[in-house]
Amino acid sequence: MKNVALHNLGCKVNAYEFDVMQQMLQEKGYNIVSFDQVADIYIVNTCTVTNIADRKSRQMLHRAKKMNPDAVVIAVGCYVQTGTETVEQDACIDLAIGNNRKKDLIPIMEEFLETRRKPQDSIIDINHTDIYEEMRLTHTAEHTRAYIKIQDGCNQFCSYCIIPYARGRIRSRKQEDIIEEVKGLAEAGYKEIVLTGIHISSYGIDFVRNDTADYMSARNLAYEENFFLKLVQAIHEVKGIERIRLGSLEPRIVSEVFASELSKMPKICPHFHLSLQSGCDETLKRMNRHYTSGEYYEKVELLRRYFSNPAITTDVIVGFPGETEEEFAVCEQFLEQIKLYEMHIFKYSKRQGTPAAVMPEQVTDTKKAERSNRLLAMEQRHSQEYRQSFLGKEVSILLEETKIMDGVSYMVGHTKEYVKVAVRTKEDLSNVLMQGIADEMLTDDILLVVPKE
């Protein structure tokens, strides 16, 4: 029995695919060991979203070969897809497998182990495939929450992003396959699922697109047909699933119908991640984002109209090429006005191969750090205010793990809004849903909840 060590880098989609690959290896009889142990085979599920991600991917692959020079080191995923030539020339990498071939990991790997010849088709032309790579998860490392991949690929081509080239065009998973996976996870005891993908708001666009329809027409038709909403409604009917959490959404998918219909489903978590990137319209244009700050604000207000105190989170990039002090001030003012629960603040990082990497007026690291610190301080203040808004109110919580704080035993979990909470108890109540009253702030980011009797 060969020992296999795996390491994952990157997004929730990568994490899902990583879990499936590990599951496949276990079912085939391979012994899974920690990545810092000596193994016969090392597999790194790589990321390429930034130049730094590329470097981390290389570092992990080289570390694996250093731990055991005789081991087979396998690079999988996005870094392989965008840096094929570099990967093939790297002496530390024995085998490279691109996206849309992860489901074939074992046969590709075993053929290589037997012949020591690299297969010709382990890396496909990802930009010219319309095939969704069907994978199915039966369990995850988490015991209460499972991520479900519903689509792959992206057609947005934001000027800072390499992902469309690493993941290809939009490919949606069949609804019946998604429902079967959800049912299996429900039977395995999972109470909460999170829908994830590279661009989940595009779910179903490829169901209506044909050779004569352009992307924008297909997108508008898909939104009118509400493929994504219909999928959520179908998942809502699965017995055993108590919570449905949505991954990152494109603001434009939030219509009156979308918000209204979601609000009628009690299993929906009122936690919406609407990617913004900038609150300044001029910056958004250079980013090739296809909405304005005003349109974004309207979508936030729609969600707040149909849901009581929803958690709305976002991503913001500071220091994008050409971002002046005036543009940043507009962004800062917009974020102060809109008051979101959490903001993930990123300092712009060049990604080779994207239009933004060669744009003029690159912002200095010093200015990026200053702007980031200002928004992080705002984010901390807004997040604290949002958490405190639940004090004295009844909340629904899903408990996940035991944690000792100041010598006291707590079960820690999350509300439907994804606010972290703790309940004083010595019992193991993991995967238990309960109602309680938010009593006080236990720490800066954890609410103490008293269970209802």
Evaluate whether the domain defined by 132-269 bears CATH number 3.30.750.210. Answer: yes
Average pLDDT over residues 200-220: 74
Residue spans of the domains in the chain: they are 3-124, 132-269, 277-389, 394-451
The Cα 166–Cα 161 span in angstroms is: 10
Evaluate whether the domain defined by 3-124 bears CATH number 3.40.50.12160. Answer: yes
Q: Which long-range contacts (CB under 8 A, 24 or more apart) does 337-341 make?
A: 337/297, 338/279, 338/297, 338/300, 339/382, 339/385, 339/386, 340/300, 340/312, 340/313, 340/314, 340/382, 341/311, 341/312, 341/313, 341/382, 341/383, 341/386, 341/417
Q: What is the pLDDT of residue 217?
A: 72
pLDDT digits (tens, 9 = 90+) for 148-202: 999 999 999 999 999 999 999 999 999 999 999 999 999 999 999 999 999 999 9
pTM of the complete model = 0.94
Instruction: Give phi and psi for 401, each to the nearest 5.
Output: -155, 160
Q: What is the pLDDT of residue 212?
A: 42
CATH code for the structural domain at 277-389: 3.30.750.200
Average pLDDT over residues 138-146: 85
Q: What is the pLDDT of residue 91?
A: 94
pLDDT band of 209, cuts 50, 70, 90: low
Same fold, 132-269 and 277-389: yes
pLDDT band of 141, cuts 50, 70, 90: confident
Q: What is the pLDDT of residue 250?
A: 94
Class of domain 394-451: mainly beta
